[in-house]
Amino acid sequence: MIMNRIFLIFFISMLLLSFGEFIMKRKGMDGRQQRVIAIFYVLTIFCLFALQFQYYQVLPTSNLMNFLSPHVKRWVDQFV
């Protein structure tokens, strides 16, 4: 899936803006709070990166989420 360029520009600029705001305000924040926010930014950048380079096709995450579904479906089919 190739992402829409307008979306990318808009999304990355908003991401940078809120990250900048976090950097500016982080001194007034609790340490735990800072860590939690940093984790979310790292995860967001990781997912965006993986989407850009089609890593989700190399390791299909939907299959990971859905790995139980075929087993349950088979069980349902057998049961009915």
Structure tokens at 33: 């709070």
9 binds other proteins (CB under 8 A): no
24 binds other proteins (CB under 8 A): no
Closest to other proteins by CB, 7 vs 27, is 7
Q: Which of 9, 27, 41, 53 binds other proteins (CB under 8 A)?
A: 41
Tell me the DSSP string of the chain.
-PPPHHHHHHHHHHHHHHHHHHHHHGGGS-HHHHHHHHHHHHHHHHHHHHHHTTHHHHS-HHHHHTTTHHHHHHHHHHH-
Interface contacts to other proteins, rule CB under 8 A: 1, 3-4, 6-7, 10-11, 14-15, 18, 21-22, 25, 29-30, 32-33, 36-37, 40-41, 43-44, 47-48, 50-51, 56, 60-62, 65-66, 68-70, 72-73, 76, 79-80
